[in-house]
Amino acid sequence: MESEVDVVIPTFRRPDALAACLGSLGLQTLAPRTIEAVDDSDTDYGPGISRNIGWRRGTGKYVAFIDDDCVAPENWIEVIQSIMETEGVSGIEGAMTTTNVLGEKVAFNPPNRFRWDRFKTANMVVRRDVLEQVGGFDERYYLHREDTDLAWRIIDAGYRMVWSPGCVVHHPEPVGVHGGVYGAYPRSEQLLFHCNSNKFVECAAGMISINSMMSGGLRKLRKEMRMVHEPGDVKALTRYQSYSLWTRAWCLAIFWRLRKATIGEPKKPPHLLA
């Protein structure tokens, strides 16, 4: 079987992690068509720009995105190609495992209640023609939400993204060990809100917690989303937009809490590949 899967890896000052990632790709039962590792160590433009550079270099029908600190099981490419050849499938949101502080391998996936606040390019696949139609990643994002934005635009264009727990990669070290800081966080949230304000309600609801309220983080985010941030290319939320967003978000968060207390969490995730 000829591979139609190009793999794109944005990398930033993690040579050991990248070596492990590339090593796992060298053991595939079906070799990738191409592997594009785009090093952003000197320019620091952000992974969205790196991924755009990478996928535009390839020629395969399908583009698989993986982070440089993840490793793929031997059948990853084979599983991807099999799923992508399913009629009506335009993209895959894959699963991820990581290692907890006890050294145990554990699942690291969005809660089943999340329909839109998901889609991470640590393990995502998209048809090349779909990427071309939607224009790839929005390069205004620096380091957060660019992957969710891409998936939403794909779905809003009428294409189907599926969740496949069988398409999995592993993050060997506990998530967050490299100390990444989302410096452009409020601006990224503004960008995602403007991408689709209705879908973003779920994102806002997911930020509501006792910890975020007690720490002042939630109040700070609400305030910062009503401000313009450098380089000034993203509109701040108006007073009405902010009020509407957080009112709806609180209603959804309360609904989640009541449902969990009465009938429990949803048994199956959304977008599940049948």
Please give, one letter per residue, the 3-state secondary structure of 4-24: CEEEEEEECCCHHHHHHHHHH
CATH code where residue 69 lies: 3.90.550.10
CA distance 52 to 10: 10
Domain check: are 203 and 160 in the same one? no
Q: How many CA atoms lie within 13 A of 91 on its CB side?
A: 30
Q: 272: pLDDT confidence band, cut at 50, 70 and 90?
A: confident
CA distance 268 to 112: 6
Q: Mean per-residue pLDDT for 204-222?
A: 94
- Select from 124, 146, 171 the last residue of a domain: 171
Inside any domain, residue 176: no
Amino acid at 81: Q
Domain check: are 61 and 191 in the same one? no
Whether 177 has a pLDDT exceeding 80, the answer reads no
Inside any domain, residue 249: yes
- Select from 103, 137, 171 the last residue of a domain: 171
β-bridge partners, 39: 11
Inside any domain, residue 273: no
Whether 141 has a pLDDT exceeding 80, the answer reads yes
pLDDT tens for each residue of 48-89: 999 999 999 999 999 999 999 999 999 999 999 999 999 999
User: Which helix (H) or strand (E) segment is 99 a member of?
Assistant: strand 91-99
Q: For residues 102 and 28, is the Cβ–Cβ distance under 8 A? A: no
pLDDT of residue 176: 55
Report pTM: 0.93
